[in-house]
Amino acid sequence: MMQFFQGYRRPNGQVGIRNHILILVIDECAEGIAQAIRQTVSECVIVTNHYTCMYGGNEELVNVMIGAALNPNVAGVLVLNMGCGSIDPSILTTPVEQAGKPARSLPVIKSNGTRQTIRQGIALARELVALAKEVPVEPVSISELLVGVKCGGSDTSSGIASNPAVGKAVDTLVDMGASCVAGELIELIGCEEILRRRAVSDTVADKIERLIFEEERRWHVPGTDVETMSIGNSVGGLTTLEEKALGALHKTGTRPIQDVLQITPTGIEKPGAPGMYLSETTHLCGAAGMHFAALGAQVILWTTGGAGFNNPIVPVIRVSGNASLITEDIDVDVSGIMSATQSVEQAATEVLSCLNQVIQGEQTAIEEVGFAFCSLYQKDQRLETLIHSQPV
């Protein structure tokens, strides 16, 4: 793993490994228009708000959209709205402009309808693409890298192979001065005592325990034996949440945990210094990609048996230890751990080698095809009141 990578320096000092133009669609009514623009200007990626276009109660969602627009992999933003909703486009464009990035706003109603909006949108998108091409690539210290870490499509190989391999890679990255952030607190139920010992302070330890408890209450139904584990996990050989959690824990490595980054209606917490972090990034795959984007991650390490997703803003590196499920979708094959022909250290070296190539500009195995929609997710504020989560 090299100490430097090639990046696009943004006006606010952040550095991206990609140079995308983002179309933010405030109202789902306008998504077809955004897709029509992208058919002509392929350099664009799209984030659509499929929740209500009313603002009250959508603050967390809006914060995630703003965070995605501020992600260092984004060079410029086109905000598209129908014009009859209550989310003012300036709520999104203002922080983008304050960060020094170009932002354009396009309301459908004021633009005289769909076809005219598409024509104007194409022109604005091309303008943004031209501005993005003016951003030079420069060598950047590894200390400016933030790597998201998540699992999905987990099976018996995950806790034995892909998670330990990525966890070892995470330790190496942190030792080199980079930052890593793991999500899906619900996947760590039962690991609280271990995580507390890794926390840098009692305050962080208490925060870890509280937020895992709150996430458990959001997803579990009191009085039932239902567990939050997919059928695919069970078919893959996982039997309990505790078994899955202890396997998932490996991907976080062993280094001290600096903080748990919260994603709330009042804002999104960001790493204050290099190191290892946990976060409220959801366990829902597509939405997790958006959470990582909002946190500022430039790339994601995804551990799996054979499944996976892509995110158009943040490249996803897929790591699998299941030899029977290795396809061209998988970036790093660590199944040698399962057959005892490869050590965890050797597998971690392969993970870091692939990561190094991706942050230098090479695409992941299927970065250009089959990506998931940029799914947005927010905690239901009515439910938050019912479970008595502590106010932020």
pLDDT digit string, tens, across residues 130-183: 999 999 999 999 999 999 999 887 777 788 899 999 999 999 999 999 999 999
The full DSSP string for 38-83 is: HHH-TTEEEEE--S-S--TT-HHHHHHHHHHHHSTTEEEEEEEE-S
Q: Is the predicted pLDDT of residue 226 greater than 60, yes or no?
A: no
Residues in the chain: 392
User: Which comes out higher in pLDDT, residue 219 or 276?
Assistant: 276
Q: Tell me the percentage of the chain whose pLDDT exceeds 70.
A: 93
Distance CA 71, CA 312 (A): 12
pLDDT of residue 231: 65
CA dihedral 314, 189, 202, 302 (to 10 degrees): -20
Distance CA 286, CA 293 (A): 11
Q: Phi-psi region for residue 275, left (φ > 0), alpha (ψ -120 to 50) or beta? A: left
Q: Tell me the percentage of the chain whose pLDDT exceeds 90.
A: 70
Alpha helices in the chain (DSSP H): 31-40, 59-70, 90-98, 114-132, 156-157, 163-176, 192-198, 202-219, 231-235, 241-249, 285-295, 344-359, 381-386
Q: Which amino acid is at 115?
A: R
pLDDT of residue 51: 85
pLDDT digit string, tens, across residues 179-199: 999 999 988 999 999 999 999
Distance CA 292, CA 121 (A): 27
pLDDT of residue 257: 98
Q: Is the predicted pLDDT of residue 321 greater than 70, yes or no?
A: yes
Q: Is the predicted pLDDT of residue 224 greater than 60, yes or no?
A: no
pLDDT digit string, tens, across residues 25-72: 998 899 999 999 999 999 999 999 988 888 778 899 999 999 999 999
pLDDT of residue 234: 63
C-alpha separations of 184 from 23, 50, 227, 257 in Å: 27, 22, 15, 15
Residues 6+ apart with CB under 8 A from 115: none
pLDDT of residue 297: 98
The residue among 69, 71, 72 whose CA lies nearest residue 104 is: 69
Band (pLDDT 50/70/90 cuts) for residue 97 is very high
Average pLDDT of the chain is 90
Q: Is the predicted pLDDT of residue 261 greater than 90, yes or no?
A: yes
Evaluate whether 23 touches 46 at the Cβ level (below 8 Å).
yes
pLDDT of residue 391: 47
Q: Is the predicted pLDDT of residue 369 greater than 90, yes or no?
A: no
pLDDT of residue 159: 85
pLDDT of residue 238: 66
Q: Is the predicted pLDDT of residue 123 greater than 70, yes or no?
A: yes
pTM: 0.93
Q: Is the predicted pLDDT of residue 82 greater than 60, yes or no?
A: yes
* Residue 3, both tokens: 């100490």
